[in-house]
Amino acid sequence: YFKHLRQAERRGSIFIPTTARDFEWHHQGTGVAHIDLKIANRLCENTLVNAEKFAAVASQFGARYPWEALDKGWRQVLFSQHHDAITGPCCDRSYFDLMDGYREALELASQALDRSLTYLAGAADTTCTDVGALAALVIFNSLNWERTDVIEVDLELPRAVSSFALRTAEGEGVPFEVIQASGPGDKVRC
């Protein structure tokens, strides 16, 4: 049947119309192609978990635990995790609603995390016994093992210097590369 149908179409004796009812505006022709929703979901989950960790530690040192922000952030993320949402809705309105919910969750989690880290950094003893020390840098690790990741940081030195070194609290040298340096009073990107 299909062989005869195809031959008839090639001869031009019949016309087979192509129709579609695809309401997918983002990736037409695919039913579940919203990888950006999955990325947003994972980013929100990780940020919320880290915010919870550091907020719990900061609360032990006197900071107020941001339960309202974290509760709302988790509700936004969990609301979007049902099978019709996280795999990608067919209508653009639902897609934008989901992304808006992820945006709000990420903003709430990021603010809670930033406040907790700022509070903890302010409580850290950054006094240095080294007479030539210019500044202290506090780095947080949210994992339960030592890390050797490469980080990028803007350092604002209090005065102009021709060179400087980075050292751990124990006095060990830390390898670094200056990416960009500006004039006195400006930042150094390392």
pLDDT tens for 5-64 read: 889 989 999 888 765 555 555 555 555 557 788 889 999 999 999 999 999 999 999 999
Taking the C-alpha atoms of residue 120 and residue 55, their distance in angstroms, rounded to an integer, is: 9
Kindly report the number of other CB atoms within 10 A of residue 176's CB atom. Answer: 15
Predicted pLDDT of residue 89: 61
pLDDT band at 127 (very low <50, low <70, confident <90, very high): confident
3-state secondary structure of 159: coil
Taking the C-alpha atoms of residue 106 and residue 108, their distance in angstroms, rounded to an integer, is: 5
Predicted pLDDT of residue 168: 83
Kindly report the number of other CB atoms within 10 A of residue 88's CB atom. Answer: 21
Which range of 13-27, 78-92, 105-119 scores highest in mean pLDDT? It is 105-119
Please compute the mean of the pLDDT values over residues 58-83 and round it to a whole number.
Answer: 93
pLDDT band at 178 (very low <50, low <70, confident <90, very high): confident
Predicted pLDDT of residue 11: 93
- Which residues lie closer than 8 Å to 66 by C-beta, 6 or more apart? 51, 55, 111, 112, 115, 116
pLDDT band at 179 (very low <50, low <70, confident <90, very high): confident
Q: Which residues pair with 156 in a beta bridge?
A: 187
Predicted pLDDT of residue 126: 78
* R_g of the chain computed on alpha carbons: 27
More confident site: 185 or 154: 154
Please compute the mean of the pLDDT values over residues 119-134 and round it to a whole number.
Answer: 78
Contact between residue 99 and residue 40 where contact means Cβ atoms under 8 Å apart: yes
**Amino acid letter for position 29:** G
